[in-house]
Amino acid sequence: MKKFLRRVNRGLLLGGIVLAGFVVFVITDTISFKKNKPVIEDEIKSYVSMLEDVGVNKGSDQTSYKEGIDSLINNYWTFSDEKSDLFYYSLNQNEFKNILELNMNDSDPNAYVSKWTAKVNNIDISKAGPGYAMVSFDCQIVAEFSGNACIVNPCDAMTVNNYVYYGEKVPTGLSRISIDGYYKMLMTQKDGKWKICMAESYGWDSSEIAAVDSEEGGNEE
């Protein structure tokens, strides 16, 4: 009986140690994540800002454009072939890269984007398991383009004909498009830096296309 009680006590003690260790891990991980939130937010803003390097393609050849894509992917993405239940349709590193390259090929030969800017708003960051963060945000993209050009966004890329109303044609002159969209990303730490491993675009709330005055645009050189 005494041996049995000693075994029970030993089991309870070990169980208590494991539980205490788990509680300490959870608390430490939660505190660490809270400290990382500003870092994650800065990474998202930096990523969207750097998209301009591939968003603007006027005067770029295929080689320099692909080099820009490679630089963007290497700096801000990390590979993951897993699909999360938190996404309906998501892209990993390779899929996003392929979309950027394919849509550029689908754009008209003489089409281009001469200006591309983006403004990020309403960033929400939540914990998505140890070492992972789920980030959602609104983003307004304003781009000046000519022809059926490829418009890049944080999680996707589409040619202008996807944004025109049914029955209307893609404008031929220098035009400006404004797109308000919502995006969601799963991020993880890789080599001390928070990187994107999956991303999803929820489409756009609105898109507007208008002609750009030649004096105002100044990009039809």
Mapping DSSP to helix (H, G, I), strand (E, B) and coil, where does residue 107 land? Answer: coil
- Domains of the chain in start order, with CATH, are 36-217 (3.10.450.50)
The Cα–Cα gap between 115 and 217 comes to 9
Decide: 170 and 147 in contact? Cβ < 8 Å. yes
**Alpha-helix runs per DSSP H in 79-213:** 93-106
**Alpha-helix runs per DSSP H in the chain:** 2-50, 52-55, 62-76, 93-106, 214-217
pLDDT digits (tens, 9 = 90+) for 7-58: 545 555 555 555 555 444 445 556 667 888 999 999 999 999 999 989 998 8
The Cα–Cα gap between 154 and 139 comes to 8
Tell me the angle at which helices 93-106 and 62-76 cross, rounded to the nearest 10 degrees: 160
Q: Please give the backbone phi and psi of residue 44, each rounded to the nearest 5 degrees, phi first.
A: -65, -45
User: Which is more confident, 198 or 202?
Assistant: 198
What's the sign of the alpha-carbon dihedral 213, 218, 219, 221?
positive
The Cα–Cα gap between 139 and 121 comes to 6
pLDDT above 70 for 121: yes
Rounded to the nearest integer, the mean pLDDT of the chain is: 82
pLDDT classification of 5: cutoffs 50, 70, 90: very low
